[in-house]
Structure 1
């Protein structure tokens, strides 16, 4: 593999790992937005990168709670590339006690994760 390509792959893995570490902190019964995860991963303005990273997660995995990340409207982002996992995401969230309204939205005032800054 060419050196620049190796670096690009390595940088993506490091970026994705940062994203995954933040997503792992979202407590059960709460959600975060793609933009919020980007911000907390030092990737402000790169919500799509968060989406790309979560797309790579095994949807059956219990290690990374990918289902807890939703769009800024409080909705599951529908995508034909997810092969039906849109409905899985909603089901998993409902199983955690998160309620969707009749329009398929989550009340972010109630369910949005608000992490407290860590102090050392």
Structure 2
């Protein structure tokens, strides 16, 4: 696991890099991204970072990050549509078979 990152820009860059690794058709949680980035109790920071993804190059697939129970937090329908296009089923604003499509960055990528 990485050492603790304190500079906000560096934290966001680390978060964006991890989220970019999530494969199509898979999702992860804010907490899992935080853990992979070395952020103790950083799920809220990941959520905050996801509000700054617009205009990032390469793009950050924010739709692939959901809460720990598979719910799409604050979705206006756009994220659900993007996930459906990636063959991830969403019903009542929650990922169907969340555990089956869950991607754990700590075990899936080397950081």
Which of 89, 93, 104 lines up with 2:93 in the alignment? Answer: 104
Matched-pair contact (CA < 8 Å) for 2:83–2:90:
no
Give, in whole Å, the separation in 1 of the partners of 2:67 and 2:22. 15
2:26 pairs with 1:30: yes
Which residue in 1 is equivalent to 2:8?
12
Structure 1, unaligned stretches of length 5 or more? 1-9, 79-84
- Quote the offset at 1:54 in angstroms: 0.6
Matched-pair contact (CA < 8 Å) for 1:35–1:44:
no
Give, in whole Å, the separation in 2 of the partners of 1:24 and 1:17. 10
Structure 2, unaligned stretches of length 5 or more? 1-5
User: What root-mean-square deviation, in Å, do the aligned CA atoms of Structure 1 and Structure 2 show?
Assistant: 2.3
- Quote the offset at 1:58 in angstroms: 0.9
Which has the bigger relative contact order, CA under 8 A and spacing at least 6? 2
Matched-pair contact (CA < 8 Å) for 1:35–1:46:
yes
1:11-90 equivalent positions in 2, closer than 5 A: 11-58=7-54, 63-78=59-74, 86-90=76-80
Look at both structures and tell me which one has the larger radius of gyration over its CA atoms.
Answer: 1
Give, in whole Å, the separation in 1 of the partners of 2:56 and 2:71. 20
Larger proportion of helix:
1
Give, in whole Å, the separation in 2 of the partners of 1:86 and 1:68. 15
Q: Deviating runs (4+, > 2 A) in structure 1?
A: 59-62, 114-119
TM-score (norm 1): 0.76
TM-score (norm 2): 0.82
Which of 80, 83, 95 lines up with 2:85 in the alignment? Answer: 95
